């Protein structure tokens, strides 16, 4: 207890203690990643400056120099707190030393106010919550034939690259992460993360494939949100989400996905041989706290990961930071990029609404979610010959047999059970088994399914317990925001999602079911049979942007002012993705106790990019994070399989879903194409100094705020934020004319001549100069793009710059401009 409670009643005491909050504090002085010397007795620890962009070597975190400087910073944190407050009135949770210089501390709002005014303190932010952004994809992306052979086949794809996952932990015994029958994994000398041991079994969480495993829960514990029984005080996944994202990025190749006796295919990660480093900071019921997530990122970079995958984003904007790019999250990630780590972050699941992104900064690769080419469909065939389409990953009822249809509300045991909303078939004990046995049970989809208190898995279990041969779940009302994902079930079953189709079925049932004057059924005469829904139909209209995927425009501050920077960056598969699941995972009611789950979310899209980035890093070990991101973006595609422009799922006026032509606000530069990304020809490189220049040039950002978070003064400007050397061009307020410059570097083995062309929607004129250029291997050249307002439309005009090389390289970047006046 933090307060003397001798004379107070205990209850009051608890109320007083609960007033304490968690704060993230930054203080003066350089963190390890950017300390260039100057403090007596401590040598420089900074990464070499960015003059030579594409050779980023990491900080050697075990060196005596780093350890002693980090210790010095921590002592200063403790001294500051010890000078200001009495011991016992506060609780320091973490000292951040590597990427930002500061600490997380649990104290009262009054104490926080004192800290705010203390000398040497730069910022005090109240902690806020984050949430997780909830297998056929390797083939869909062309990895087995196009990419893995160049990395030495799937046995070598991602060899010795370490992918750090900040998520809900891992289920280490899952076949996707085991090391049976694989070539032994040797040590990776530059990675030095800890391996926690399971407190119950005393076994290590690591096995060579999993190379590091730690958990971060101090903020969760201090906030009273942590329950060790379900959350596990270890890296064990109590949710499923973390095992799933890890298996997408780096799960073993060819692991059979079996459920209810059916094999749905073989699961594989994008980089099957890459190592997995687990940093658990998310928990199943409450998500997580920024203080824990920042500690996890700080540790991961310190340990030496190559790639960071973050399927997590802030729930809501933080309180004090006005600038989206400088919330503690993004500021920490800027340090990660400075240390040479590539960061993939989920765009968020707030789509399809504009400005719904939760990932903002140019130093992060922000990933949107696509639907790939698998669709699961099933059919119910009625006694009158009508075929009703629906979804259900289920076997068929017996061939050539038809069965009687029985509606749940016609077989209630007695009328008193109405209060249990019996039609959603969640409780077998309220329904009459004698009337259901051997028949097909009809159930109603209610709001309980939307909020998760009812599940399709439970409908299937109810039907089975009552002896039904199958079940039908009808959706009779439109539920805005409801996602109907096919769920694997052991019993024949189908979910009819189209309201008009449900009406057809109900009309047929009512006509063919005679009743007496009280409405009681005399005899059940309606019949039907359920077809097989286990085989996916491969569609040519893939990929499409998923409805839930968060959309641009990007914002520069939390009053939602538009930024001169495109987000999201890239589109990757994120809908109905099979992956590993934790046997004690509870995040998805339909997959409780299962070893695999098929779920959707930008959470699933980010690890696809992290895994593909690992393959690029394996081939080009010295590339900067910006170079890897550029390679992914400039080689992406804006066409679907059939060669038509990619479509995006959107809501129509009636709240039904429809498809519209996608724009860069939906997919960034387009859908990832891993094969082309390994050999992009040209890259748009950038480093820490460029990102600093971008911040310093963005209008409305407070220079002090920049200095607080980066410890760097603004002594360099790029004229306009749209001049940041990104593989996209965005001008949110185009007045008359603007000239934007870009620099490209030839990363191929030989000289190449590129012809540069551009096109744009008619409201804005576009011009490029020079029209062609020859670039030697390893050399860089500038070009400029002139944008001129032709007519003011009040919306963005979209276009692109295309660079075609005479050795076959194609480089494309999106261009967006909103013309305000001519």
Of 510, 448, 511, 454, residue with least CA distance to 477: 448
At a CB cut-off of 8 Å and minimum separation 6, what does 803 contact?
682, 744, 754, 755, 756, 809, 810, 811, 812
Q: Which of 54, 174, 215, 241 is catalytic?
A: 241
Q: Which of 50, 167, 306, 569 is catalytic?
A: 167
Helix H or strand E encompassing 444: strand 440-444
Does residue 167 carry a catalytic annotation? yes
DSSP 344-358: EEE--S-TTSTT--S
Angle, in degrees to the nearest 10, between helices 688-697 and 328-338: 150
DSSP 146-194: HTGGGGTSTTTTTTT-EEEEEES-B-TTSGGG--TTSPPP---TT----
To 5 degrees, how large is the angle CA 315–CA 321–CA 327?
Answer: 60
Strands 577-580 and 596-599 come out as antiparallel
Does residue 150 carry a catalytic annotation? no
CA atoms within 13 A on the CB side of 579: 35
Give the span between the Cα atoms of 754 and 775, in whole angstroms: 8
Q: Are 552 and 564 in contact (CB under 8 A)?
A: no
Helix residue ranges per DSSP H, 514-578 = none
Give the span between the Cα atoms of 546 and 540, in whole angstroms: 16
The three-class DSSP label of residue 569 is coil
Q: Which of 243, 603, 624, 669 is catalytic?
A: 603
The three-class DSSP label of residue 630 is helix
The answer for 305, left when phi > 0, alpha when psi is -120 to 50, beta otherwise, is beta
Q: Are 343 and 365 in contact (CB under 8 A)?
A: yes
Residue 201 neighbours by CB distance under 10 Å: 8
Q: Which residues are catalytic?
A: 167, 241, 603
């Amino acid at each position: 207890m933090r307060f003397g409670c001798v004379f107070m009643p205990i209850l009051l005491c608890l109320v007083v203690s609960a007033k304490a909050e968690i704060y993230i504090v930054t203080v003066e002085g350089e963190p390890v990643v950017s300390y260039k010397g100057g403090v007596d007795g401590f040598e420089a620890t900074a990464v070499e400056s960015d003059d030579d962009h594409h050779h980023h070597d990491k900080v050697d975190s075990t060196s005596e120099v780093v350890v002693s400087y980090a210790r010095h910073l921590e002592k200063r944190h403790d001294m500051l707190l010890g000078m200001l407050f009495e011991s016992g009135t506060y609780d320091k949770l973490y000292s951040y030393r590597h990427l930002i210089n500061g600490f997380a501390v649990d104290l009262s709002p009054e104490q926080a106010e004192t800290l705010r005014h203390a000398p040497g303190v730069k910022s005090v932010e109240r902690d806020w919550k984050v949430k997780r952004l909830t297998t056929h994809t390797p083939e869909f992306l062309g990895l087995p034939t196009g990419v893995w052979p160049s990395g030495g086949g799937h046995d070598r794809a991602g060899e010795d690259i370490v992918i750090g996952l900040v998520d809900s932990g891992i289920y280490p015994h899952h076949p996707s992460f085991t090391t049976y029958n694989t070539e032994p994994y040797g040590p990776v000398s530059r990675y030095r993360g800890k391996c926690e041991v399971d407190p119950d079994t005393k076994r290590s969480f690591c096995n060579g494939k999993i190379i590091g495993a730690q958990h971060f829960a101090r903020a969760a514990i201090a906030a009273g949100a942590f329950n060790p029984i379900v959350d596990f005080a270890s890296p064990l996944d109590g949710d499923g989400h973390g095992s799933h994202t890890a298996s997408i990025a780096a799960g073993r190749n060819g692991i059979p996905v079996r459920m209810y006796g059916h094999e749905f295919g073989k699961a594989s990660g994008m980089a099957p041989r890459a190592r997995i480093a687990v940093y658990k900071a998310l928990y199943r019921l409450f998500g997580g706290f920024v203080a824990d997530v920042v500690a996890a990122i700080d540790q991961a970079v310190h340990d030496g990961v190559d790639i960071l995958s973050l399927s997590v984003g802030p729930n809501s904007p933080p309180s004090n930071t006005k600038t989206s790019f400088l919330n503690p999250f993004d500021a920490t990630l800027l340090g990660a990029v400075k240390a040479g780590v590539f960061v993939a972050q989920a765009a968020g699941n707030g789509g399809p609404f504009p400005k719904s992104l939760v990932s903002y900064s140019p130093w992060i690769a922000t990933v949107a979610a696509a639907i790939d080419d698998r669709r699961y469909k099933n059919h119910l065939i009625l006694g009158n010959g009508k075929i009703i389409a629906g979804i259900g990953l289920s076997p068929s009822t017996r061939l050539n047999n038809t069965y009687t249809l029985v509606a749940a509300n016609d077989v209630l045991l007695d009328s008193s059970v109405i209060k249990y909303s019996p039609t959603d078939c969640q409780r077998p004990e309220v329904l009459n088994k004698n009337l259901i046995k051997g028949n097909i049970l009809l159930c109603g989809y209610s709001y309980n399914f939307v909020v998760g208190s009812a599940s399709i898995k439970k409908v299937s279990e109810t039907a089975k317990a009552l002896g039904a041969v199958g079940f039908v779940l009808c959706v009779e009302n439109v539920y805005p925001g409801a996602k109907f994902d096919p769920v694997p079930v052991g019993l024949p079953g189908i979910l009819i999602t189209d309201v008009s189709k449900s009406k057809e079925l109900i009309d047929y049932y009512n006509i063919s079911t005679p009743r007496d004057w009280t409405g009681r059924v005399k005899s059940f005469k309606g019949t039907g049979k359920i077809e097989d829904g286990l085989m996916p139909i491969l569609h040519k209209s893939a990929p499409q942007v998923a409805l839930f995927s968060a959309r641009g425009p990007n914002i520069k501050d939390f009053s939602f002012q538009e930024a001169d920077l495109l987000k999201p960056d890239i589109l990757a598969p994120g809908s109905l993705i099979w992956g590993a699941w934790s046997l004690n995972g509870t995040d998805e009611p339909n997959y409780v106790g299962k070893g695999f789950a098929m779920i959707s979310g930008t959470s699933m899209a980010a690890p696809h990019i992290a895994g593909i980035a690992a393959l690029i890093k394996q081939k080009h070990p010295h590339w900067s994070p910006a170079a890897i991101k550029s390679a992914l973006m400039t080689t992406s595609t804006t066409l679907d399989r059939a060669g038509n422009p990619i479509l995006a799922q959107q809501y129509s006026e009636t709240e039904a879903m429809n498809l519209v032509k996608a724009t860069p606000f939906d997919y960034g530069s387009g859908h990832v194409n891993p094969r082309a990304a390994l050999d992009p020809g040209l890259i748009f490189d950038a480093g820490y100094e460029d990102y600093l220049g971008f911040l310093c040039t963005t209008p409305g950002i407070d220079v002090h705020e920049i200095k607080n978070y980066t410890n760097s003064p603004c002594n360099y400007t790029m004229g306009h934020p749209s001049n940041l050397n990104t593989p996209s061009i965005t001008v949110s307020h185009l007045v008359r004319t603007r000239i934007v410059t870009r620099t490209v570097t030839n990363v191929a083995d030989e000289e190449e001549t590129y012809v540069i062309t551009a096109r744009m929607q008619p409201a804005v004129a576009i011009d490029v100069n020079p029209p062609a250029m020859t670039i030697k291997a390893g050399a860089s050249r500038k070009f400029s793009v002139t944008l001129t307002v032709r007519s003011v439309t009040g919306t963005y005009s979209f276009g692109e710059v295309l660079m075609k090389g005479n050795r076959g390289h194609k480089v494309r970047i999106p261009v967006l401009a909103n013309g305000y006046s001519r």
